[in-house]
Structure 1
Amino acid sequence: MATLSLGVTGAFLRYALAHRLMEIPNARSSHSIPTPRSGGVGIVLTFLIALPLAGMLGAIGPNLVWSLSGAGAGIALLGFIDDHRPIAARWRLLGHFAGSLWALFWLGGLPALEVFGMTLELGWIGHALAVVYLVWMLNLYNFMDGIDGIASVEAVTSCLSICLIYWLSGYDDLIWPPLLLATSTLGFLYWNFPPAKIFMGDIGSGFLGIVLGILSLQAAWRNADFLWVWCILLGVFIVDATFTLIRRFLRGERIYEAHRSHGYQFASRQLGSHFPVTLGVALINLLWLLPIGLFVAMQKLDGGLGVIVAYVPLLILAVKYRAGESERRAE
């Protein structure tokens, strides 16, 4: 899968250069030279080709295949159109909710949650919250795709981490979807690693966000703790995006407008390079978040408590790197 993604992305890179499908730097950009966009098509096509094949081989259940393929393809198409002809925010959001509803229909909604030892059956309220959760995961992934390699590294390390956790906790059958996503993204990462030769665009970031959200909910149907584990593994993105959004909202800014006030963006400007920030995300995921997620999966640590333990240092980093602070004030 990595080889296929590598080849598809390389072919699309040549196509984008020939047809001038470029991301032009502006005041809100974190890059300084025109760069081809929509390279996430390599991730999308590779994963969507592998998914039904894995389903026919019995490695992935049919409901999950329909959930991932339908929602993923729809969100990817919406993102591809938006990459080339911007769509109004309200119509994008409508598409995001439609894709999330499709996904949850095939998943069966939100399973029971385990919160500090208590089992919560939320019924229709839970299903509504699950839709909002998927929409937020989709959008936060888009927000966090702002420097070279960061969104790709987050997907690869999170997916490989959950594969290891599934294997060690005796849920080998859950490994295939995140493994396919990791390998599909790995081929693209070759082209996207700092300094990036191509960006994934909304087609890639939206697709990764919705797929990762779906996988976290699907795993929770097998073991409620796995939802907490996924939230832990994706903690860097969840904390930075959410903390930034809240601060901008409280300041009265238009939260849907493009900006450069995420913690990782401030950090890349402060360090003068994208590479150390992207590498730092990988190290945090593997050396900090993976062990905590494993403790939760092995029932050595309560899921809710695990999220708190994992997120506190991430919040400290968000404050340190001024996530959500006004760009004018930071200057």
Structure 2
Amino acid sequence: MEYMPDWWGGAKIAVLAFPLILSGTVTLVMLWVFLTHLREVALDAPNHRSLHEVAVPRTGGVAVLAGVFVGILIAGVQISVGVFAAFFSLLSVSLFDDFRSLSARIRFVVQTLSVSLLFYSLRLELHFWFLWPLLVVTGVWVVNLYNFMDGMDGFAGGVTCIGFFSLGSVFFIKGAEQLAYFCYLIAASSAIFLYYNWPRARIFLGDAGSTTIGLAVFSLSVAGWQQGVLNLAVPLMIFLPFWLDATATLLVRVVKRERWWEAHRQHFYQRMAMKFGVRKSLFIELCIMFCTSTITLLLVVFGLV
């Protein structure tokens, strides 16, 4: 996330083609392995809170992240030890949780440490000390909300494709091609995953995928803000359908003194899916996502944000 080889300074879309295709290919191969030879690994059995009716493997996120990792290696990106450790620690505990459920307390501690380590590694300069805990709490929330919103076939995958492509385009327009490359990598691998996650889904992201992608949203947004190329309003506008639903639902559950950290079916997208069906609800949600992303890109192009 910090350094690119010398040739990267003049990179254009054509230069991105090979690593993006290779990244998608790796994701495709990994998905094939998980769906054929490792189909019974980390199955997500349906329960009274689920929208799916049969057990589905939740290893899709590993395939997406594998593709992204290969794309990073091919491009010769140098990532600091701290940033790598932040993502690896979160991925490890989330992957373990996919196989054997962990307590919310353990997951929260690791998430907090990962976000804090990320900030330290990015050497973020803040003029007011009280902004540090506020940003850490925000980072942990973004990690969790991405996980909370991954409960409907095609939803998280579709949002990831549209959201990261849009965020990457903003970075590209602003000349932050390094950050744009990361976004396009995630979008490309997620597009391959989305084919298998489309209703009726054959594979899910799992906690390993959703939480790590959530951390990627937050880290890229903060990195862009730190470099002065991104207004934090931009990712908020792009990912509006995700964070607004998750935040509003959380606040309602907190006010009602419910166990907000537990799985439930109170999100707007869940209630809409139970009323209109998954396919129609997914279409509506992705249309909203497309609209918020398009409006944001237009505002960036015209210099309004």
Same fold (TM over 0.5): yes
Change (3 A) 1:13 1:69: farther
1:216-295 aligned at under 5 Å gives the runs 216-223=221-228, 225-272=230-277, 274-295=278-299
Which amino acid letter does the alignment assign opposite residue 30 of structure 1? L
**279-288 or 245-254: which moved more?**
279-288
Partner of 2:121: 106
Give the Å deviation of 1:277: 2.3
Runs (4 or more) in structure 1 with deviation over 4 Å come to none
Partner of 2:139: 134
Give the Å deviation of 1:214: 0.5
Contact kept in structure 2, 1:220 and 1:227, CA below 8 Å: yes
The count of corresponding residues between Structure 1 and Structure 2 is 283
1:5-154 aligned at under 5 Å gives the runs 5-17=27-39, 19=40, 21-54=42-75, 56=76, 60=77, 62-63=79-80, 66=81, 68-109=83-124, 121-122=127-128, 124-154=129-159
Partner of 1:3: 25
Give the Å deviation of 1:61: 5.6
Contact kept in structure 1, 2:225 and 2:232, CA below 8 Å: yes
1:180-191 aligned at under 5 Å gives the runs 180-191=185-196
Which amino acid letter does the alignment assign opposite residue 216 of structure 2? V
Computed over aligned residues only, the root mean square deviation of the Cα atoms, in angstroms, reads: 1.9
Q: Secondary structure at the match of 1:175?
A: helix
Report the Cα distance in structure 2 between the residues aligned to 1:245 and 1:277, rounded to whole angstroms. Answer: 21
**1:211-266 C-alpha deviation (Å, 9 max, x unpaired):** 11101100101226432101111111110000000001101101111101000000
Change (3 A) 1:67 1:23: same
1:137-216 aligned at under 5 Å gives the runs 137-216=142-221
Change (3 A) 1:242 1:214: same
Change (3 A) 1:62 1:72: closer
Report the Cα distance in structure 1 between the residues aligned to 2:41 and 2:221, rounded to whole angstroms. Answer: 37
Contact kept in structure 1, 2:83 and 2:121, CA below 8 Å: no
Which amino acid letter does the alignment assign opposite residue 206 of structure 2? G
**1:242-296 C-alpha deviation (Å, 9 max, x unpaired):** 0000001101101111101000000111112x22222223222222333235415
Which amino acid letter does the alignment assign opposite residue 36 of structure 1? P
Change (3 A) 1:37 1:173: closer
Which amino acid letter does the alignment assign opposite residue 49 of structure 1? V
Change (3 A) 1:292 1:21: closer
Structure 1: gaps (5+ residues): 113-120, 302-331
Percent of residue pairs identical: 29
Change (3 A) 1:9 1:265: same
Change (3 A) 1:61 1:294: farther
